[in-house]
Structure 1
C-alpha cells in the first residue's frame, strides 16, 4: 500500500493531488524549483524538496533530480500530474526501475500513445477514423510542403509528444507553414523535452469532444461520460463541460465504444482520455492523453467521485467499482494570468488580493493564494472554477455569478473574458466549435462605449482618492487641482491604459456627481455619473443612465489606479494633468518586450529593411511565444538582444526608423 507519494509537478495540480492524499492518509512530498520555494503546493505538502533552477529543463523536466528526490524522501509512489513529464515513458521507466510505484499507465501504453504520430497509425490500422495527416520526422522541407498541399491548407502543426495547446500552430499558406514548424518545435522542446511534430488537416470550427476512461489491472475499462472542450484560445482549452451537450445519442455511444477499443488496444491502466474532433456529424480520433486531464473536475462533480483517488486505488491493485449513472451538468472555467485584450499576453507578478466567493455546488481548484508570486517560467494557469447544476443552464448561471464576484488584484486575468463566453447567446444555444472565440470576438471584450465609461469612472475615483489624501491646506491656492470659487471644477488629464493614451476632461459637480468626456483620440459626448461609498471601503456604487452597478477599487496610488467590474480589471496611469503633449503616431523609436521572458529567436539584423507586420524577434514567456512585430515599413537601426538571452519587461529589443 502507498504510504508516501511524491508529486512530480507544481501549482494547482500538485495542490489538488495533495488534498486527495490527505483524505487517504497518504503523506505527500512536493518538489519545487528555485522560484517556487514559497509556492502554495510547497507549503501545503508534508515534505518538500528543491529539484533545480527556474527553467523547466532544470527542474520539472529533470528526471534525474525527481527520482533522486523520491529516493531521498523514501516515497512509495510518484504521481506525475499533467504536463511536464506526465506522458514521458522514459520517466515512467525510471520510476519503476527504482522500485517506485508510478501512478499512471504502463510505460508501454504511454509509449504507444504519447507520440501522436504512432498513435494515429495504430488507430488507423485498428479501424478507428483519424484526421488526415503525417509526421514531419525524416521528411525534407520539400516533402513536408508537398504532403501539406496534398492534405490541403489550412493545416495544423502539433507537438507529437505533448498537448495543452503547446507547440500547436495553424498554417493557411506555404509562408506560414515553416514559420509555424520552427515555432512549434521550440515550444514543444521547451514544454515536453521533445521537438517532434505532426501535421494534420485543420477542420474549421470542429467540436472538440473527449471521453474519460478508467482501466484496472483486470483489463476492465469503464467510460465515465464525455466532455466538450471546444472553446479554446491559442488552441488551449479554457471552458470545459460534462456531459458534452447536444450530441446525438448514437454518436455519443459510438465514441464511447471507440474509446474502449483504443484503451484495450494498449492495455490501458488508470485514468485516461480519448479525444475526438466532431465535424459534420462524423468524429475523428486525434489523440489519447495517458494522464489525468486539467478538466477532470467536471467529470468528478457529475459522478460524485475522486479520479485521483481512483488512480491511487487502481495502482494499489483495486478493481473499478463506480456507479455508471451521472447526475446533473458541470462546467469549468480556467483562470489564467493573462490579458485577453493584448492577445492573451501573460501577466506574471504578485497577487495582492484574491477573493473567490464560496457557494453550494461550486468547486475552486487554485494553485496560488493571496500574496503569491506568479513566475514567468511556466504555464499562466492560476486555477479553475467549476460549477455543478441540475442542468446546463443552472450550471452556467452559477459559474457566471461567481465570476462576476471574483477579484484578483496585482496581475491581469481572463475572468471577464470567460464570463462573457458562457453568457453569450451562441454558447447557450450550443453553437460550439474551436473557432467560437474567433467567430464571436467582438462580443467577448468590453465595447468602446463600456471601456470609455470605465476609464472615466476610474479617473473620477482617482480624483476622489486624491482629494481624501490631501493634507490640510492653509488656502485654496495651495491645492494642485483646479479649485474655483464658484461653478464646476474642471480638470484635463492625459491617461494611459493598456498602452493607449487618452485626453480626458473631467468636471466635479456636487454631492458625488461628476461629468467627463474624451477629447482625444476619439472625442465623446459628456457622460454624467454619481458615485456613492457609504462605508468608506473599496466598493463604490455608480449611478449611470438610471442604473446602479458596483465597482471595486483594487489599487489607488499617487499617479495610478485599478478597478474591477464583474471580474474585468482596468488600470490607468496619470501621465500629465495639464500638458497637451498628446502622443501622436510613432515615426521612429524602440520596440520593447511586453513581458519578461527568453529571446527564442531573432529574425533581423542591424541596417536590415523591414516591412510593416514583419516578425523581428520572438519572446518565450510562460511556455508561449510572443512575436515582436514591426509597426511600419522601415530600417532596423539596432538589435539589442541575442537568442537565449533572458530579458525583463520593457527591455528594448530593437530600434527602428520609419521609411519616409
Structure 2
C-alpha cells in the first residue's frame, strides 16, 4: 500500500492530488522552486522540498532532483500531475529505477504516445513531411507536450520557418524537448476527447466524452461532459478509437484520447498519457475520483468490469490571470482575495489563496470552477452565476469573458467550435462596465474617510466633492455631497453608504454594491475593477513616438537576427520575443521606419511598460504595439 506520495508538480494540480491523498490517509510531499517557496501547494503538503534550479522555469523539469527529493522524504510513490515531466518516459523510468511507485502508465506506453508523431503512426496516420502552398493552412505542434505550448497556425508558406523556430523554442522551454511536427489544420471543428482508465488486469473503462472547443491560443478555456449533440454512430466511433489506442500500447492508468470532429468525422489528434486539466467534469458526471483510482491502479488494484453510469452534465471554466481584450496578455501581481459562493453542485480547484502573488514564471491559471446539474442548461446557468458572484480581487482576469461566453447564444445552443473566440472576442470583451460602480466606490471611500476624520457636512452649502476612477480604458468623474442626512448624489438616490456596502436607488429599483478597497487605489465594486486616480496627477513622462513598451513582465528570450540600431524595419516585422509564464510573446514593429534604439537583450528581465526599442517613423503619432502569439 502507498503511504506517502510526492507530487512532481505545482499549483492547482498538486493541491488537487494532495486533497485526495488526505482523504485516503496518504501522507504528502511537495517540491518547489525558489519562486514557489510560499505557494499554496507547498503550504498544503505535509512536507516540502526545495528544488535548486538555474531558473524557476526549468526547476520542475529536473527529474533527478525530484527523485532525490522523494527518497529524502521517504515517499514510496510519485504522482506527476500534468505538464512538466508528466509525459516523459525517462522520468517514469527514473522513478521506477529508484524503487518508487510511478502513479501513471508504463514508460513504454508513454514513449509510444508522448511523441505525437509516433502516436499518429501508431493510429495509421502520417504527419506532413514537406509543406507546400497546397497544404495551407497547417498547424505546427510540439511532439512532446500539450496544452497548446509550441503550437502555431501557419497560413503563409513564407512564415513557416519563423513559426517552426518559435515553436521549437517554446517546446524546449516547456517540455525540455524541441521536436515539432506539421499537420493539416482543420478549421471550424470541435475539440472532443474521450477519457479512458485502464488497470493492469486488462480492463479498460471508457468514461464518456468531453467537449473542449472553447479555446484561446490553442488552450482550453471552457470544457464540458458529455460533449453535446454527437450522433450515436460518431460517439461509438470515438469510444472504439479510444479503446483501440489504449490497448495498442497496453495502457495502464488514466489517459485521454483527443479528436477534432468536423463534418461528421473524427480526426485523431493525440493521446495524453496523464490526467487532464479538465478531468473534474468527468469526475462529476460519473461520481468518481480519478486520482483515487490512479492510486488504486498503481497499487495493483483492479477496476470493476464496467464503470459507473453517468449522471447529468458538468461544465468547467478556467479562470486565468490574463487580459482577453489585450491579446490574452498574462497578468501578475498580488491576489488580494479569491472566493467563490458556496453552492451545491459547484466545485473549485485552485492553487491560490488570499494574499498570494501571481508571478511571471508559470501558467496564469488561478482556478477551475466546475458546476454539475441534471441538465446542460442548468449546469451552464449555475456556473455562470457562481463566476459572476465570485470575488477575485487583484490583477485582471478573464472572469467576465467566461460569464459572457457561457451566456452566449451560440454556446447555449451547443454550436461552438474552436473558432468561437476568433468570431466573438470583440463582442464578449466590449461590454461597458456598470455606470454606477464608480459612484459606489466614491461613496464607500467617503464613508470610510468620515469614520477616520469626522463628518464632512457643512451648515453652508458647498460645491460637490468629486473623485475620478479608471475602469478599463475609460475615466469617470463622479460627484457627491454631504447633507444633514448623510451622503447624497445627483446620479442616484443613496439609501445606504458604508465603507464596504453601498445601496443606491434609480428608477424605483434598489441595488446593492459590495465594495473592497486596497492600497494603491485599487477598488472592486461587485467584481468590477476600478483604479482611483489622484486629484492632482503627476505629469506623465513622455515617451518618444514609436516606443515599444513591454506589454507584460517577462524575459527577453531572443532578438531578431541582424537587428541593430539603424536597421530598417517594416510594420508588423517581429523584432524580439518575450517569455512570460512559459509562453512566447512576439513584439513587432508598430510602423515601418528605422530602429533608433534597442534596449532589449536576450536574458534581460523586464517589467510591464519597460522601454524595449524605438522605431523612428514618418508619422510620429503612432505608439508601440505588441502582437502576442502565445500558447499553453
Would the TM-score normalized by the shorter structure come out above 0.5?
Answer: yes
Distance, in Å, in 2 between the alignment partners of 1:379 and 1:115 is 22
> Can you list the C-alpha shifts for 1:547-579, whole angstroms capped at 9, x where unaligned?
54443323255x7342243x4x42324155589
Matched, 1:33 2:8: no
Q: In structure 1, how many angstroms separate the alpha carbons of the residues matched to 2:127 and 2:281?
A: 31
Equivalences, count: 614
1:204 Cα deviation after fit? 1.3
Aligned counterparts, 1:453-468, within 5 A: 453=435, 456-457=438-439, 460-461=442-443, 464=446, 468=450
Provide the C-alpha distance between the structure 1 equivalents of 2:78 and 2:415, rounded to a whole number of angstroms.
Answer: 41
Find 2:295's aligned residue among 312, 315, 330.
312
Q: Pick closer, same or farther for the CA change 1:92–1:56 going to 2, 3 Å.
A: farther
Give 3-state SS (helix, strand or coil) of 1:75's partner: coil
Q: 1:95 to 1:179 in 2, by over 3 A?
A: same
Equivalent residue number for residue 391 of structure 1: 375
Cα pair 1:351 1:374 within 8 Å, conserved: yes
- Paired with 2:454 and 2:504, the residues of 1 have a C-alpha distance of 28
Long gaps (5+) in structure 2: 620-632
Tell me, yes or no, if structure 1 residue 256 matches structure 2 residue 256.
Answer: no
The match for 1:596 is 553
Aligned residue among 328, 331, 343 for 1:347: 331
Deviations 1:286-342 (A, max 9, x none): 000000001111111111111011111111111112534111111111111112222
Deviation sequence 1:253-298 (CA, Å, 0-9, x none): 1100111011101110000000000001111100000000011111
CA distance in 2 between partners of 1:543 and 1:635 (Å): 57
**Structure 1 stretch displaced more, 216-225 or 647-656:** 647-656
Residue pair 2:206, 2:243 contacting (<8 A) in 1 also: yes
Contact 2:575–2:588 (Cα < 8 Å) also in 1: yes
Cα distance in 2, alignment partners of residues 279 and 306 from structure 1: 31
Q: Call closer, same or farther: CA 1:242–1:605 in 2, change over 3 Å.
A: same
Structure 2 residue aligned with 1:451? 433
**Per-residue CA shift, 1:18-73, capped at 9, x if unaligned?**
11112222111111111111111111111111112483554200111101111212
**Aligned residue number for residue 376 of structure 1:** 360
Give 3-state SS (helix, strand or coil) of 1:444's partner.
helix
1:160: how far off? Answer: 0.9
Conserved 8 A contact 1:303-1:325 = yes
Select the residue among 120, 128, 134 that pairs with 2:128. 134
* 1:212 matched residue in structure 2: 195
Partner of 1:479: none
1:564-643 alignment, distance < 5 Å: 564-565=525-526, 567=527, 569-574=528-533, 577=536, 588=545, 590-603=547-560, 604-643=563-602
Equivalent residue number for residue 408 of structure 1: 392
Secondary structure class of the residue paired with 1:96? helix
Distance of aligned partners of 1:562 and 1:283 in 2 relative to their CA distance in 1, 3 Å threshold? same
Q: CA 1:406–1:502 in structure 2 vs 1: closer, same or farther (change >3 Å)?
A: closer
- Structure 1 position 545, deviation (Å): 5.8
Q: 1:459 to 1:16 in 2, by over 3 A?
A: closer
Contact conserved, 2:577 with 2:585, CA < 8 A, in 1? yes
- Name the structure 2 match of 1:562: 523
Using the TM superposition, name which of 631-640 and 30-39 deviates more: 631-640
Give the RMSD, CA atoms, in angstroms: 2.8
Equivalent residues of 1:229, 1:237 under 8 A apart: yes
Query: 2:515 — aligned with what?
Result: 553
Task: Indicate the SS of the match to 2:421.
Answer: helix
- Matching residue of 1:182: 165
Aligned to 2:186: 203
Q: Deviations over 1:85-129 (max 9, x none)?
A: 0000111111111121111111111011101111111101xxxxx
Matched, 1:266 2:260: no
* In structure 2, distance between residues paired with 1:237 and 1:349: 23
Q: Distance in 2 between matches of 1:474 and 1:267?
A: 76
Q: TM-score, normalised by structure 1?
A: 0.86
Tell me how far apart the structure 2 counterparts of residues 635 and 452 of structure 1 sit (CA, whole Å): 44
2:62 is matched with 62
Corresponding residue SS for 2:133:
helix
Q: Does the 8 Å CA contact 2:457/2:482 hold for their aligned counterparts?
A: no
What residue in structure 1 maps to residue 144 of structure 2? Answer: 161
Structure 1 residues 468 and 280, CA, compared in 2 at 3 Å: closer, same or farther? farther
Q: Which residue is equivalent to 1:489?
A: 464
Q: Aligned pair in 2 of structure 1 residues 256, 490: CA closer, same or farther (>3 Å)?
A: same
For 2:49 and 2:503, the matched residues in 1 are separated by 48
The aligned counterpart of 2:624 is: none
* TM-score between the two structures when normalised by the length of structure 2: 0.90
Structure 2 CA distance for partners of 1:30 and 1:88, relative to 1, 3 Å: same
How far apart are residue 501 of structure 1 and its match?
A: 6.1
